[in-house]
């Protein structure tokens, strides 16, 4: 994740047969990615496409089923997102969820109107009709609702099969054409049997097997990488983060020494990080690793710079320069590999009220200039983060890397407020080391999203022995988050906080005060910058 513009080099095309899959058409629901994950938990491959994907393109993907997601719009609204009506003639089973069901009704001759009451939260579903979607379920189910509009006329050929207090048609079915609609959200945890409903659709209705496993992914990916790369060479920018590390391990397993990893030390890494990466990849896994220590370049360019945006720009530009030179030194290659993951490539539907669209623009991929003459190799493009970690674990990468906390590209520079200097880096690095060490000892490090130290641009008075000191302040930031977009501060145990404070002040020369950041995001950000 860097905030530089996205490069558009040529992407390699998959040469393998399309796996059994379910396509989700995204109408802008904040839960669309959750639907995709639920399907993959059923061991079926799923992909998300825009709501207006033409039926002909869908047919070519040979999906076993289609799911129409929820969304914030009203089907009868002027700018409402509609799907290609030709999808109803493809003969593929369809499940419409919330807005997806309303659209199904709207396009197939039913009626949807503004409800007098919004139904939001837990609801009791009463199943009244026979539907393969509700196989193995009792007739009363707790479900999660979130809708304002409601269906008032069921389209011809459909039967109502369930209702809730506020929705007379909470589920409809046309079993002959294998078209199903549900007003509630089976994908969220608040619908306790939602997983069974999703499984009923993908296994029961769509007849999918259980072919999507991490092992099958790895086998396919290796075959595909070998097919695409042939005898050519691949360069990979290794950052030490989860995604690039897993991509490196996977590509290395496929093509061995045809891969060269380029690891740039920008001088802004955490303590022992550069050594760790060299040890794991170079020494233990015997990968070709080109190590570029550019500490001097970065620190020279950053000298005296205090403005956070300027710091970011300087670091971004310097990285491109250094990386380009380093790749040249690493030797000619046809492919540039990146650890791009699925959330980076899903084209979020930008409909007012869809937070997913915002998430996308924030976590944009990229960081390399257009003039780099490589073809991109992105073997993790189809995977969610938890799947990437599982691939890493199955490839034998250490927990330290697989479960690593997110670390920003500009590194410690966004955690040093004010100017970056070797001395200030030393202070932050040592303090941060104590935080990581104590979090690990408390068995909390891998359980929270991020924990780190921040160096403030002020000095305060303290007393050590008989002497007054005038030294630096360290802030501790620990946050819980799912995607980095929102976060809450972690209620760390007092004893742990006490140990952190004592150790940082005693062990890190130049610090005489430790504070705790108790702000959530929003309104604060995770990094201080």
Catalytic residues: 98, 185, 187
Binding mask 3-42 for ligand XMP (x = CB under 6 A): x---------------------------------------
Burial of 370 from C-beta contacts in 10 A (0-12 / 13-18 / 19+)? exposed
Contact between 517 and 454 under an 8 Å Cβ cutoff? The reply is yes
Contact between 474 and 503 under an 8 Å Cβ cutoff? The reply is no
Q: Which listed residue (408, 432, 438, 477) binds ligand XMP by CB under 6 A? A: 408
Q: Whole-angstrom Cα distance, residue 220 to residue 95?
A: 29
The closest alpha carbon to 216, from 8, 390, 409, belongs to 390
**DSSP result, 368-432:** S-TT---EEE-TTTT--HHHHHHHHHHTT--HHHHTPPP--TTGGGGGB-S---HHHHHHHHHHH
Contact between 262 and 235 under an 8 Å Cβ cutoff? The reply is yes
Binding mask 479-508 for ligand XMP (x = CB under 6 A): -----x------------------------
The closest alpha carbon to 486, from 451, 460, 450, 523, belongs to 523
Residue 327 in the binding site for ligand XMP (CB under 6 A): no
Q: Which is nearer to ligand XMP, 204 or 406 (CB)?
A: 406
| Shortest Å, Cβ 338 to ligand XMP | 13
Q: Which range, of 262-270, 325-333, 343-351, 404-412, touches ligand XMP by CB under 6 A?
A: 404-412
Structure tokens of 398? 């250490």
| Shortest Å, Cβ 407 to ligand XMP | 7
Q: Which is nearer to ligand XMP, 81 or 411 (CB)?
A: 411
Contact between 88 and 108 under an 8 Å Cβ cutoff? The reply is yes
| Shortest Å, Cβ 528 to ligand XMP | 8
Q: How far is CA 405 from CA 297, 399, 446, 454, 503, in A?
A: 26, 11, 7, 16, 22
Q: Whole-angstrom Cα distance, residue 170 to residue 422?
A: 63
Residue 267 in the binding site for ligand XMP (CB under 6 A): no
Binding mask 443-482 for ligand XMP (x = CB under 6 A): -------x--------------------------------
Q: Which is nearer to ligand XMP, 295 or 520 (CB)?
A: 520
Residue 196 in the binding site for ligand XMP (CB under 6 A): no
Q: Which is nearer to ligand XMP, 116 or 309 (CB)?
A: 309
Residue 525 in the binding site for ligand XMP (CB under 6 A): yes
Q: Which range, of 18-26, 226-234, 402-410, 454-462, touches ligand XMP by CB under 6 A?
A: 402-410
Q: Which is nearer to ligand XMP, 110 or 410 (CB)?
A: 410
Angle among Cα 445, 446, 451 to the nearest 5 degrees reads 45
Contact between 474 and 453 under an 8 Å Cβ cutoff? The reply is yes
Q: Could you report how far apart the first and last alpha carbons of the chain are, in Å?
A: 16
Residue 237 in the binding site for ligand XMP (CB under 6 A): no
Residue 367 in the binding site for ligand XMP (CB under 6 A): no
Q: Which is nearer to ligand XMP, 105 or 359 (CB)?
A: 359
Q: Which listed residue (70, 240, 267, 410) binds ligand XMP by CB under 6 A? A: 410
Contact between 364 and 6 under an 8 Å Cβ cutoff? The reply is yes
Residue 377 in the binding site for ligand XMP (CB under 6 A): no
Q: Which range, of 128-136, 217-225, 292-300, 403-411, touches ligand XMP by CB under 6 A?
A: 403-411
| Shortest Å, Cβ 450 to ligand XMP | 6
Window 89 to 108, contacts with ligand XMP (CB under 6 A): none
- Token look-up 């949807």 returns 112
- Token look-up 């490539």 returns 345
Neighbours of 524 (CB within 10 A): 15
Q: Whole-angstrom Cα distance, residue 379 to residue 246?
A: 10
| Shortest Å, Cβ 2 to ligand XMP | 5
Q: For the sheet containing 288-293, what is the strand order?
A: 288-293, 259-265, 234-237, 335-337, 375-377
Q: Which is nearer to ligand XMP, 80 or 444 (CB)?
A: 444
Residue 361 in the binding site for ligand XMP (CB under 6 A): no
Q: How many residues bind ligand XMP (CB under 6 A)?
A: 13
Residue 315 in the binding site for ligand XMP (CB under 6 A): no
What residues line the site for ligand XMP (CB under 6 A)? 1-3, 406, 408-410, 450, 484, 521, 525-527
């Amino acid at each position: 994740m860097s905030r530089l513009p996205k490069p558009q080099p040529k992407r390699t095309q998959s040469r393998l047969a399309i796996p059994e899959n379910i396509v989700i058409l995204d109408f802008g629901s904040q839960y669309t990615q959750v639907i995709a994950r639920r399907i993959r938990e059923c061991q079926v491959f799923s992909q998300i496409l825009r709501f207006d994907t033409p039926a002909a393109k869908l047919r070519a993907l040979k999906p076993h089923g289609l799911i129409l997601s929820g969304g914030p719009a009203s089907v009868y609204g002027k700018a409402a997102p509609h799907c290609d009506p030709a999808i109803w003639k493809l003969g593929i089973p369809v499940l419409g969820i919330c807005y997806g069901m309303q659209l199904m009704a709207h396009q197939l001759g039913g009626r949807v109107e503004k409800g007098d009451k919004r139904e939001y939260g837990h609801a009791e579903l009463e199943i009244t009709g026979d539907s393969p979607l509700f196989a193995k379920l009792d007739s009363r189910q707790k479900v999660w609702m979130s809708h304002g509009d409601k269906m008032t006329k069921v389209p011809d050929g459909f039967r109502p099969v369930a209702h809730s207090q506020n929705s007379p048609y909470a589920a409809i079915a046309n079993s002959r054409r294998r078209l199903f609609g549900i007003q509630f959200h089976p994908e969220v945890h608040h619908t306790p049997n939602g997983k069974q409903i999703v499984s009923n659709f993908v296994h029961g209705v769509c007849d999918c097997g259980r072919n999507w496993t991490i092992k099958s992914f790895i086998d396919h990916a290796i075959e595909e990488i070998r097919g695409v790369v042939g005898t050519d060479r691949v360069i990979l920018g290794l950052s030490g983060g989860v995604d690039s590390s897993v991509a490196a391990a996977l590509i290395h397993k496929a093509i061995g020494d045809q891969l060269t990893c380029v690891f740039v030390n920008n001088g802004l890494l955490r303590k022992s990080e550069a050594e760790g990466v060299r040890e794991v990849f170079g020494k233990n896994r015997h990968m070709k690793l080109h190590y570029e220590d550019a500490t001097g370049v970065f620190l020279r360019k950053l000298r005296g710079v205090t403005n956070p945006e300027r710091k970011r720009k300087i670091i971004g530009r310097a990285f491109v320069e250094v990386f380009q030179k380093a790749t040249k030194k690493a030797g000619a290659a046809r492919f540039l590999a990146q650890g791009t993951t699925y959330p980076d490539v899903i084209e979020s539907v930008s409909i007012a009220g869809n937070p997913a669209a915002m998430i996308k623009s924030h976590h944009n991929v990229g960081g390399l200039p257009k003039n780099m003459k490589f073809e991109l190799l992105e073997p993790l493009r189809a995977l969610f983060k938890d799947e990437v970690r599982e691939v890493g674990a199955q490839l034998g990468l250490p927990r330290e890397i697989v479960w690593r906390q997110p670390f920003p590209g500009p590194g410690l520079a966004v955690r040093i407020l004010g100017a970056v200097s070797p001395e200030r880096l030393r202070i932050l690095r040592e303090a941060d080391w104590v935080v990581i060490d104590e979090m690990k000892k408390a068995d909390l490090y891998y359980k929270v999203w991020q924990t780190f130290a921040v160096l403030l641009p002020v000095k305060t008075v303290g007393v050590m022995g008989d002497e007054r000191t005038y030294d630096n302040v360290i802030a501790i930031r620990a946050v819980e988050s799912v995607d980095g977009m929102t976060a809450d501060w972690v209620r760390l145990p007092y004893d742990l906080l006490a140990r952190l404070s004592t150790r940082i002040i005693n062990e890190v020369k130049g610090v005489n005060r430790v504070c705790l950041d108790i702000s959530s995001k929003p309104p604060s950000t995770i990094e201080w910058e």
